């Protein structure tokens, strides 16, 4: 597959501010074309980040905090499809290694039983010479195990873990998940290159056919999710001034809590 290689170079940390930030630092200090795919894995993060600048709960011995630095040829793969491809890869991996049935909440979260188990954050790196994206940092944070003291009160009703507490050989479980996830990610990025990944993404959607609250930079409103486009955009219907209107949403987020 021309836009993705299966040879990896792993960097592991007991603690780091953010694996996404470390991947960006690596990209800034290594301008040559990538011969191997760098993968950054941390046991804990002090500054884990989600979308819209939110923090991501990243305690030690609980989750998988991983970032992958992907070289991008925009002629082969649309960067908009990288996050959906990663969501599908996470879902496949969860199903293969557990009995759980995950769903994807547009655009970048994976849920189990309507609670968040995984967040995905893809960030483009622009080549100043070419004036376009040359690499993408793909960050994936997964709650593999429940914290010994439980999740913090502010997220206890919306967060869950894949394997719960008291798991034997958690390090082995984590690295088994890493291997399977990278294997699935190669397949889903290939599907993104071939423009077929959105079919599975839609089948796994938590919001398609549901009424949600759409949240963007300016406001929020209630809407019915009618479709998800081939580029991963959300198509919603909502009532405005007594009339039914349709809108395609390129970015932002949605909440199922009306």
Question: What angle, 0 to 180 degrees and rounded to 10, lies between the N-to-C axes of helices 170-193 and 82-97?
Answer: 140
Determine the pLDDT at residue 252: 85
Q: In what order do the strands lie in the sheet with 103-105?
A: 8-13, 37-42, 63-71, 132-143, 115-127, 109-112, 103-105
Closest CA to 156 of 141, 172, 143, 166: 143
Residue 151 φ/ψ, nearest 5 degrees: -75, 150
Please write the tens of the pLDDT for every residue from 29-54.
987 778 899 999 998 888 765 554 45
Closest CA to 108 of 156, 50, 67: 50
Per the model's pLDDT, the better-predicted residue between 87 and 49 turns out to be 87
Please write the tens of the pLDDT for every residue from 129-176.
777 888 999 999 999 998 776 777 777 788 899 998 878 888 999 999
When pLDDT is averaged across residues 110-120 and rounded to a whole number, the result is 94
Per the model's pLDDT, the better-predicted residue between 21 and 166 turns out to be 21
Determine the pLDDT at residue 2: 40
Residues 6+ apart with CB under 8 A from 63: 141, 142, 143, 144, 145
Determine the pLDDT at residue 75: 63
Determine the pLDDT at residue 223: 96
Single pTM value for the model: 0.91
Determine the pLDDT at residue 56: 56
Determine the pLDDT at residue 54: 54
Q: Which residues of 139-152 are buried (b: 16+ CB within 10 A; e: fewer)?
A: bbbbbbbbbeeebe
Average pLDDT, the chain: 88
Determine the pLDDT at residue 216: 78
Percent of the chain with pLDDT over 90: 62
Please write the tens of the pLDDT for every residue from 210-225.
999 998 777 889 999 9
């Amino acid at each position: 597959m021309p836009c993705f290689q299966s040879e990896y170079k792993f960097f592991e940390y007991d603690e780091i501010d953010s694996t996404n930030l470390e991947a960006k630092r690596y990209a800034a200090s290594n301008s040559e074309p990538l011969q191997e795919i760098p993968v950054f894995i941390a046991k804990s993060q002090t500054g884990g980040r989600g979308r819209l600048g939110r923090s991501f709960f990243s305690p030690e011995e609980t989750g998988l905090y991983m970032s992958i630095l992907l070289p991008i040829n925009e002629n082969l793969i649309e960067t908009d499809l990288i996050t959906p491809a990663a969501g599908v890869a996470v879902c496949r991996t969860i199903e293969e290694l557990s009995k759980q049935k995950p769903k994807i909440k547009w655009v970048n979260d994976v849920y189990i039983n309507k609670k968040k188990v995984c967040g995905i954050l893809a960030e483009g790196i622009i080549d100043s010479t070419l004036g376009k994206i040359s690499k993408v940092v793909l960050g994936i944070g997964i709650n593999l195990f429940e914290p010994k003291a439980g999740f913090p009160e502010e997220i206890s009703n919306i967060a869950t873990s894949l394997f719960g507490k008291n798991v034997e050989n958690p390090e082995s479980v984590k690295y088994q998940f890493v291997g399977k996830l990278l294997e699935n990610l190669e397949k889903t990025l290939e599907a993104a290159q071939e423009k077929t990944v959105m079919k599975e993404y839609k089948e796994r959607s938590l919001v398609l056919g549901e009424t949600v609250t759409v949240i963007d930079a300016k406001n929020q409103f209630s809407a019915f999710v009618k479709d998800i486009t081939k580029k991963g955009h959300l198509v919603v219907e909502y009532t405005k001034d007594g009339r039914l209107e349709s809108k395609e949403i390129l970015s932002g987020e949605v909440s199922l809590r009306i």
